[in-house]
A and B are shown apart, each in its own frame.
Chain A
Amino acid sequence: MALDDVSVELRRGQFTAIMGPSGSGKSTLMHCLAGLDSVTDGKVYIGDIDLTNLDDKALTELRRDRIGFVFQSFNLVPTLTAIENIRLPIDLAGGTPDKEWLDTVIDTIGLRDRLGHRPSELSGGQQQRVACARAMASRPQVIFADEPTGNLDSKSSAEVLSFLRKSVDETSQTVVMVTHDANAASFADRALFLGDGRIVDDLDNPTAARVLDRMKRLDVAPATG
């Protein structure tokens, strides 16, 4: 069992990091929270919607309209340009994007001059920034980021993380990020520690040093992926 008796409330407008070594269940937790995986027992709510009661169609719409995703890699559809990728959830819903908001998002990621490029023409960091912009474009209730900096060098990582931070600070975006990187976790307002499918600790305003220390104390070596 990947998760066992996990009860957690993620606060609106907060940047939460879910930490833990490989196999600790952090990805599973995120997948359950995001409606990608189903729980065998218990309930999952986003806002006041009970995910466990939704069928595939409703879950799809939920992901499209209320959730933003940033994955570790392969985040973008290779045949679509950057801007098309950003607009993808909105276009799938058949809606018209809030132009002003879209402009804000694009300016924040700072890739206005590369919007017509395809993912293969963008660097890894640029691709992740486009993915973040896509996650934000539909003003979701929550963004789930799964190791968003896992494949990036430190400079690109910092860019992506500060972008997520900024979205929380400036637009009260709710962000949940799975990571095993203490430095990445230091950008968050709160760090949850998972071990063997249970929540083992909960830190507010984590710093890299405190997170590292915490992980050491848990007697868990930093995982490698």
Chain B
Amino acid sequence: MFRLALKGALARRLRLALTATSIIIGVAFVAGTFVLTDTLNATFDSIFSSAEKGVAVVVRGQEAFKVSGFDSGPTDERALVPAAVLQHVRTVPGVRDAVGVASGYAQVVYQGKAVVNSGGAPNLGMAWVGHQPENPLRIVKGREPAAAGEIVIDQQSADKFNIPVGAHVEVIVSGKTVPATVVGFVKFGNSTLGSATITAFVPSQAQQLLIGTQGSWSTVQASAEPGVSQPVLRARVESALASANLADGVVVQTEQDYAADQADQVKSQLKFFNVLLLVFAFISVFVAVFIIFNTFTVLVAQRTRELALLRALGASRRQVLSSVVLEAALVGLGSGIVGIGLGVLVGAGLRSLLGVFGGSFDTVSLQLRPRTVIVSLLVGGLATVLASVVPAFRATRIPPVAAMRDDFTLPTPTLRRRTRLGVGLLVIGAALLVTGVNNGKALLIGLGALAMFRGVVSLSPVLSQPIVGGLGRALPRFWGTPGRLARENALRNPRRTAATASALMIGIALTTTMSVLAASITTSANAQIDKSVGADFIITANHFAPVSETVATKAAQVPGVGAVTSFRAGAMKVGGSTTQVQGVTPNTVADTLRLTVQSGSVDNISKGSVLVSEQVAKDKHLHVGSNIPVEFALTGKQSLTVEGVYAKNPIAGDYLIGLDTYNANFRNRLDQVVGVKAASGANLGQVHADLTKALSNNPSLKIQDQSEFKRSQKQQINQILAFVLALLVLSLLIAWLGIVNTLALSVFERTREIGLLRAVGMATRQVRRMVRLEAVVIALFGALLGVALGIGYGAALVQALHSQGIASTSFPVGQLIGYLFIGMIAGVTAALWPARRAAKLDVLQAIASE
């Protein structure tokens, strides 16, 4: 049977090549995602471990709870380490040397231009602790900073902004700008720290500028005497600190744990991206399954006689079944192997794509882990085998007598059962979806969406008759007999038409869903901005990078400016769960945010007080004067007094505290957003111009009025949409290959018919047109189903996200029509090759062929 399967696979090379291509693309996407993920993880591991190479033990401040990812705010919120710890660690036996590390925000401005990374990576300030093994920085040009006012910067930034050694620059640190001279360039570890910019000062200046106190360090890092292991030294340092009463508020970690911690921070932020890529990779595989199913169905049908002959010669049903399944497994495994190879290239491509956004990640060779190979082969093999099981089973039903008959066709089950199944699934799916949406259950929504999708797939052969028939009605009018034949051909095998269309439907449905979601978010965001923003101008930095508080200070000095509000992000724990809290300028927040007061006052938030949204007040039974127990990562358990309750305001969120309260509990001094309200009667245009001029030294700042802000919000949403759509393009490409495949098979099956048509006078041009129009109708059918399903999904998703502030549903009609158009284009282009093949058929051979 193995040899038979192998021969079977080789004999139908062309068709299998097309099938294999769809699997290869899917597997390549899966493998590429894994390769990229593993490579990036390895890159960060290597950056952090090489950075801390000389270090054995790290003493760092405790954090009351772990905050990570998007909630964490711009800086590390651990407590500082007292300078006394450093003195004491130096005396621990086994410690060769120890240094204090100070890190924080620092941004260089050179010749009036802010040295920033376009990708929104952080601007890191550090202390230059000398040529120690503990120092992650290595001088690559110039010299080390020797006095206050001298700095070294990372070479990447120096190259990018043409900063020479000896350049006089300004450095913006939290709250102020200081002059400095660049005396050298450094590398972090062996390369760069992601794509962060690095500015290093002498230690005392770093302490003063970056952490605001000379009495503390961010961390204390110690190297070991030869022969002393990291765990041993860690234990010694820990007990030494404990006996000196210095252990409070600090933790002692081995370098390995510390590096892993640091790397995990970055990796956890990458995780979302990885999951997203994988989801789209599996969508591609899913689409490929449709194509394979289709191909094997047709192959089995074409081999009816061959298989019947086998049965007549004594092959058992099981042997026939295994020959077909084995053939599929061979194709799947072969495609899997090619897919892995291609996947490595995809991974490399994606990595260099990341490089375009800033930063170099190519310090580690591409990682192809055994897991990647196994998963890819499994995905390729399983997907193909699964897709072939039903056709293979059908093959066993071929009676031996079929070999003797000329016109035997496989009995196909009636469409009635399918219809019943499809309607059932559709109803159940819709019910699940609605229930899920109403109760906010993501799992139900997902299951419902899947069931509905499956329902539409089951129904599509039935739907194809009226829809394809309807679409096709226009064809004879415009394209005469070829149009008429194209319509009939598309209608002729509803299952095949439906399966081909379904593959395209998936991609278009998801595309439509995303577009509806994006349009709804945009509309809702605009409405929110209108409703909740009182500021005339909104100042942000590219990619939501936080800005120094000098921005707010400078803005306040511009003539015509009435009120300026800083918005700082942070996380706190309320009742066991971590939520976001914003620190705002206490006496101006009511000017820049339209807060509808429910009770209490919002005009000037007192220290130790908090404003809460009505939702929080209701849920937690709070009223003005209540005390809320909260916990901050830096300062631990605190109590805040409710001073006011405001109506739902998406920009304000649930908790607002004054900057003084914020500063007492967070180390961060950077603003996420600065809101500016013009004084009454001021000329807005003039104020805008003056603001822009006052802040012109930092080109990464955007000073936008409300309509510009809306536009840029929309742009950002569209950028994300474009990224997601780019990922969906692969699934569309696979669906496109499926159309090519189906058409090629159909043309092959209709060889005699095409020969007849040519003999009675159909011109080659007309043959091509006939095939092309058939493809267009099938593709348009798939696109229509996809858009319809996508509209349903999108509307459901928007409903489900209602509580997240997406209040209105909006359908981007132009885009949706565009997707139908794309479907048509897909049809036309997919038909090019099969149509040419059909037109080039040798008439005589075609008529003579069996």
> Which residues of A does B touch, CB under 8 Å?
31, 36-37, 56-57, 60-61, 63-65, 69, 71, 74-80, 84, 88-89, 91-94, 134
Is B809 part of the binding interface, using a Cβ–Cβ cutoff of 8 Å?
no
Q: What CA separation (Å) do A25 and B762 show in the bound complex?
A: 26
- Residues on B with beta carbons closer than 8 Å to the beta carbon of A64: 760-763
Q: What CA separation (Å) do A26 and B267 show in the bound complex?
A: 78
Beyond A79-B492, A92-B766, whether A61 also contacts B753 by CB under 8 A is: no
Beyond A61-B763, A92-B763, A92-B766, whether A71 also contacts B756 by CB under 8 A is: yes
> Which residues of B does A touch, CB under 8 Å?
480-481, 484-485, 488-489, 491-492, 752-753, 756-764, 766, 843-844, 847
Q: What CA separation (Å) do A60 and B480 show in the bound complex?
A: 17
- Residues on B with beta carbons closer than 8 Å to the beta carbon of A75: 756
Contact residue among B488, B759, B760 (Cβ-Cβ distance under 8 Å from A79): B488
Beyond A60-B761, A61-B761, whether A92 also contacts B481 by CB under 8 A is: yes
- Residues on B with beta carbons closer than 8 Å to the beta carbon of A78: 753
Q: What CA separation (Å) do A76 and B759 show in the bound complex?
A: 11
CB distance from B827 to the nearest CB of A (A): 19
Beyond A36-B844, A71-B847, A94-B480, whether A89 also contacts B485 by CB under 8 A is: no
Interface pairs (8), CB distance under 8 Å: A36-B759, A36-B843, A60-B762, A61-B763, A69-B760, A78-B753, A88-B481, A92-B480
Whether B489 lies near A88 (C-beta < 8 A) is no
- Residues on B with beta carbons closer than 8 Å to the beta carbon of A92: 480-481, 757, 760-763, 766
CB distance from B306 to the nearest CB of A (A): 21
Nearest B residue (CB) for A72: B847
Nearest A residue (CB) for B850: A74
- Residues on A with beta carbons closer than 8 Å to the beta carbon of B762: 60, 64, 92
Q: What CA separation (Å) do A126 and B789 show in the bound complex?
A: 46
Q: A36, A75, A79: which has the most chain B beta carbons within 10 Å? A: A79
Whether A63 lies near B760 (C-beta < 8 A) is yes
- Residues on A with beta carbons closer than 8 Å to the beta carbon of B488: 79-80
- Number of A-B residue pairs with CB-CB distance less than 8 Å in the complex they form: 68
- Residues on B with beta carbons closer than 8 Å to the beta carbon of A60: 758, 761-764
- Residues on A with beta carbons closer than 8 Å to the beta carbon of B843: 36
Beyond A36-B843, A77-B485, whether A89 also contacts B760 by CB under 8 A is: yes
Whether A84 lies near B484 (C-beta < 8 A) is yes
Whether B756 lies near A77 (C-beta < 8 A) is yes
- Residues on A with beta carbons closer than 8 Å to the beta carbon of B759: 36, 63, 69, 71
B-side interface mostly:
helix
CB distance from B628 to the nearest CB of A (A): 74
- Residues on B with beta carbons closer than 8 Å to the beta carbon of A57: 763-764
Whether A134 lies near B492 (C-beta < 8 A) is no
Known pairs A74-B753, A74-B847, A94-B480; list 10 more (Cβ under 8 Å): A36-B759, A36-B844, A64-B762, A75-B756, A76-B756, A88-B481, A89-B760, A91-B484, A92-B760, A92-B763
A-side interface mostly:
helix
Q: What CA separation (Å) do A94 and B844 show in the bound complex?
A: 24
Q: What CA separation (Å) do A37 and B842 show in the bound complex?
A: 10
CB distance from B525 to the nearest CB of A (A): 52
Q: What CA separation (Å) do A78 and B485 show in the bound complex?
A: 10
CB distance from B750 to the nearest CB of A (A): 9
Whether B485 lies near A80 (C-beta < 8 A) is yes
- Residues on A with beta carbons closer than 8 Å to the beta carbon of B752: 74
CB distance from B487 to the nearest CB of A (A): 9
Nearest B residue (CB) for A60: B763
Q: A56, A80, A92: which has the most chain B beta carbons within 10 Å? A: A92
CB distance from B686 to the nearest CB of A (A): 70
Q: What CA separation (Å) do A65 and B752 show in the bound complex?
A: 21
Nearest A residue (CB) for B492: A79
Beyond A31-B844, A80-B485, whether A93 also contacts B753 by CB under 8 A is: no
Nearest A residue (CB) for B757: A77
Nearest B residue (CB) for A63: B761
Q: What CA separation (Å) do A37 and B758 show in the bound complex?
A: 13
CB distance from B743 to the nearest CB of A (A): 16
- Residues on B with beta carbons closer than 8 Å to the beta carbon of A91: 480-481, 484
- Residues on B with beta carbons closer than 8 Å to the beta carbon of A77: 485, 753, 756-757
CB distance from A10 to the nearest CB of B (A): 19
Q: What CA separation (Å) do A113 and B847 show in the bound complex?
A: 29
CB distance from A137 to the nearest CB of B (A): 10
- Residues on A with beta carbons closer than 8 Å to the beta carbon of B756: 71, 74-77
Q: What CA separation (Å) do A57 and B761 show in the bound complex?
A: 10
Nearest A residue (CB) for B482: A92
CB distance from A55 to the nearest CB of B (A): 11
CB distance from A186 to the nearest CB of B (A): 27
CB distance from B755 to the nearest CB of A (A): 9
Q: What CA separation (Å) do A188 and B847 show in the bound complex?
A: 25
Q: What CA separation (Å) do A134 and B843 show in the bound complex?
A: 19
Nearest B residue (CB) for A34: B759
- Residues on B with beta carbons closer than 8 Å to the beta carbon of A74: 752-753, 756, 847
Nearest A residue (CB) for B763: A60
- Residues on A with beta carbons closer than 8 Å to the beta carbon of B491: 79
Q: What CA separation (Å) do A173 and B492 show in the bound complex?
A: 36
CB distance from B475 to the nearest CB of A (A): 13
Contact residue among A63, A79, A134 (Cβ-Cβ distance under 8 Å from B489): A79
Q: What CA separation (Å) do A69 and B480 show in the bound complex?
A: 21
CB distance from B334 to the nearest CB of A (A): 36
CB distance from B774 to the nearest CB of A (A): 11
Whether A37 lies near B760 (C-beta < 8 A) is no
Whether A88 lies near B764 (C-beta < 8 A) is no
CB distance from B95 to the nearest CB of A (A): 88
- Residues on A with beta carbons closer than 8 Å to the beta carbon of B757: 77, 88, 92
CB distance from A203 to the nearest CB of B (A): 28
- Residues on A with beta carbons closer than 8 Å to the beta carbon of B481: 88, 91-92
CB distance from A148 to the nearest CB of B (A): 14
CB distance from B603 to the nearest CB of A (A): 78
Beyond A36-B844, A77-B485, A84-B484, whether A56 also contacts B492 by CB under 8 A is: no
Whether A37 lies near B844 (C-beta < 8 A) is yes
CB distance from B249 to the nearest CB of A (A): 83
CB distance from A84 to the nearest CB of B (A): 7
Q: What CA separation (Å) do A61 and B763 show in the bound complex?
A: 7
- Residues on A with beta carbons closer than 8 Å to the beta carbon of B761: 60-61, 63-65, 89, 92-93
Q: What CA separation (Å) do A152 and B753 show in the bound complex?
A: 20
- Residues on B with beta carbons closer than 8 Å to the beta carbon of A89: 760-761
Nearest B residue (CB) for A62: B761
- Residues on B with beta carbons closer than 8 Å to the beta carbon of A65: 761
Q: What CA separation (Å) do A134 and B253 show in the bound complex?
A: 92
CB distance from A68 to the nearest CB of B (A): 8
- Residues on B with beta carbons closer than 8 Å to the beta carbon of A37: 844
Q: What CA separation (Å) do A31 and B842 show in the bound complex?
A: 13
